[in-house]
Amino acid sequence: MTAGERRASLSLAGIFALRMLGLFLVLPVFVLEAAKYPGGDDPALVGLAMGAYGLAQAALQMPLGLASDRWGRKKVILMGLLVFAAGCVAAALADSVQTLALARGLQGAGAISAAVTALLSDLTRDEVRTRAMMLVGISIGLTFALSLMIAPPLTAALGGLPGLFWLTAVLALVSMGVVAWVTPAEPPRPPSVARGRWADVWLHPQLWRLDVGVFVLHTVQMAMWVVVPGLLVQAGLPKAQHWHLYVPAVLAAFVLTGGMMALDRRGYLRGILRGGIALLLAVQLLMLALAPRLPGLWALGLCLTLFFLAFNTLEIIQPSLLSRLAPPASRGAALGQYNALQSLGLFAGGALGGLLLKHGGVTAVFAVTAALAALWLLLGWAQPVPARQTPGSRG
């Protein structure tokens, strides 16, 4: 990487990390803490509040991605962070699960993932883009590990979910400063290139495979986290000690993910993609088999380590692949469509997980997530993978 590419990659990874820290801090404790609000005894309603963020993101990712093609990446990112911060304040002031769901929707309206990823693509060359995306993935993975470790004690210290949301608002404002003063200026584009269109990506068959894939990935993730905290409690691990299992699982998966990325540099991207989806399916089937027997902590730790390995690998590989397949003039729109399906998965996973848990129990949750992963494996098996623009690639 050049110095400019390193600065762009590190600063944009930092923006992702600061913003995702606020989101991840909530994830391990949301279901348990939401039970303290009026309406918190309804798993379906709690799942809706958990997933409302993703629903708003799904509605706005593509319009804001398209806006970043036309009006500039940084303007859209700064506006989105400001809306996200306002949503955090509203969530901190919420007095019921219903108002918490509305506030989570406002948080999600700050849909900047497409613009951030498009800016990173603009500022890096094709041959180093997977490496740049990996830095973003590393920052998210480390942030996730940190969140899992500090969320329970921090929640107690800050007085519950309201304190976490106030902290998230502050992190959003810090992210705005990083965008304004640290991230390199976006490269100028001729008017003809700054006119991305939905039509360029809406029915693009190669991109839709990736879009469906990211929808499934995040549906599975959120549905699992409607169930996993309760399984850990049943296995004898108190809520405040969940990080004792989460952190080793995340860090072990992080090390293994680095090995998977080494295979990408040797040209085995298609194999990594297929292997990641197959591993995701295997984890869901294993959880389906174990859940009725109330699995112990060792079994849950193994399942979560394998899940994080699959999740991290697919989170890194898919956006990099999409940025190489998308028409350059419509990269923001393509990433907006991708992130819209990602966000819709966040909503679907939370809402669906809550409904399935309420009416069918833990087994129903993992039966559905396994079926979704199997369908993705069938669809993703034929995913086209373009050759790298470097000698000796094997595609």
CATH number at residue 202: 1.20.1250.20
* Tens-digit pLDDT profile for residues 308-343: 899 888 888 887 787 777 776 677 777 778 878 887
Task: State how far the Cα of 385 lies from the Cα of 330, in Å rounded to an integer.
Answer: 19
Lowest mean pLDDT across 130-139, 314-323, 369-378: 130-139
Nearest to 280 by CA among 369, 387, 394: 369
Residue 227: domain span:
3-183+196-380
Judge whether 388 lies within some domain.
no
Task: State how far the Cα of 130 lies from the Cα of 117, in Å rounded to an integer.
Answer: 12
Q: What is the pLDDT of residue 64?
A: 86
More confident residue, 34 or 58: 34
- Note whether 217 and 283 are within 8 A (CB): no
Judge whether 190 lies within some domain.
no
Task: State how far the Cα of 332 lies from the Cα of 388, in Å rounded to an integer.
Answer: 21
Give the number of other Cβ atoms within 10 Å of residue 139's Cβ. 21
CA distances from 294 to 132, 220, 267, 281, 299 (A): 40, 20, 41, 20, 10
Judge whether 188 lies within some domain.
no
- Going by pLDDT thresholds of 50, 70 and 90, the confidence category of residue 286 is very high
- Note whether 125 and 205 are within 8 A (CB): no
Judge whether 151 lies within some domain.
yes
Q: What is the mean pLDDT of residues 177-205?
A: 71
The structure tokens listed for 247 are 């952190």
Most confident of 38-52, 130-144, 263-277, 288-302: 288-302
Asked whether the predicted pLDDT for residue 393 surpasses 50, the reply is no
Q: For residue 194, what is the enclosing H or E element? A: none
More confident residue, 165 or 53: 165
Judge whether 390 lies within some domain.
no
State in Å, rounded, how far the first CA of the chain is from the last one.
21
User: For the chain, how many structural domains are there in total?
Assistant: 1
Judge whether 295 lies within some domain.
yes
What are the residue ranges of helices labelled H in 97-204?
97-108, 113-122, 126-158, 161-181
Judge whether 392 lies within some domain.
no
Lowest mean pLDDT across 44-48, 135-139, 196-200: 196-200
Judge whether 391 lies within some domain.
no
- Going by pLDDT thresholds of 50, 70 and 90, the confidence category of residue 389 is very low
Q: What is the mean pLDDT of residues 292-313?
A: 88
Asked whether the predicted pLDDT for residue 183 surpasses 50, the reply is yes
Asked whether the predicted pLDDT for residue 128 surpasses 80, the reply is no
Which phi and psi angles does 325 have, rounded to 5°?
A: -90, -25
Task: State how far the Cα of 138 lies from the Cα of 88, in Å rounded to an integer.
Answer: 25
Say what percent of the chain tops pLDDT 90.
21
